[in-house]
Amino acid sequence: MTEDPVKLYVVVMAILVAVLGWVAKTSYEQAAAYDHAIVDAPRQARKFSERAERVNELIVQLGTSKLKGSSYLQLVDNAARTHLGGRPTINPERPQSIPPRGKEMRWKVVVSKGSRAGTKPVTRNQIARFCRAVELDSRGILKVIEIMMRRDNSENSVPVGADQEIRNERYTCTLVVGMRVIDE
């Protein structure tokens, strides 16, 4: 390479200093990251503890609800059969994204009349009992999101605009039951 040993020594030492400088720089950066993690650890521990409490609350909530051992759809179906009479059509919808990191799952419960329908028109009281049963049986996990009611204009109905007391009015309806799941 070179015949001058001093030049060779200087070149080797320069390379060695460059390597040691790079090792020292990366070690310093890694130590700074560890120091930051140590300083941030108590805050992260509190955050982890709060999330663990929320998970425990959800476990207790699920344990006391009627969802134990069954699905959400089964709970909605049971409440519909009990309070709406017959077997209404229940259509699960595709989960919708909720910004920034959530999803909303929905089930449409359709109460209609006709030869193919599983139920007859219902009263407002039956609809209210269904909504209450879904929310109470799931311990607030499932919510009734939308209620769309249409008055059934068949037998003994009061004409629109008439000044009469409405009794035993029947409705066909579409109820949307759902829940939100937030990914943290």
Q: Tell me the pTM.
A: 0.58
Residues near 140 by Cβ (< 8 Å), separated by ≥ 6? 61
If phi > 0 it is left, if psi is from -120 to 50 it is alpha, else beta; for residue 132 that is: alpha
Q: Specify the pLDDT at position 18.
A: 95
pLDDT value at 2 more than 70: no
Indicate the pLDDT class of residue 81, thresholds 50, 70 and 90: confident
The CATH classification number of 72-182 equals: 3.30.70.60
CB 96, CB 174: distance < 8 Å: no
Q: Specify the pLDDT at position 179.
A: 80
Location of structure tokens 């990914």:
183
Lowest mean pLDDT among 40-44, 109-113, 147-151, 174-178: 109-113
Residues near 144 by Cβ (< 8 Å), separated by ≥ 6? 131, 134, 135, 175, 176, 177
| Structure-token pair, residue 62 | 């699920």
- Could you write out the three-class secondary structure of the chain? CCCCHHHHHHHHHHHHHHHHHHHHHHHHHHHHHHHHHHHHHHHHHHHHHHHHHHHHHHHHHHHHCCCCCCCHHHHHHHHHHHHCCCCCEEEECCCEEECCCEEEEEEEEEECCCCCCCCCCECHHHHHHHHHHHHHHCCCCCEEEEEEEEECCCCCCCCCCCCCCCCCCCEEEEEEEEEEEECC
Indicate the pLDDT class of residue 144, thresholds 50, 70 and 90: confident
Indicate the pLDDT class of residue 117, thresholds 50, 70 and 90: low
Alpha-carbon gap, residue 134 to 110, rounded angstroms: 15
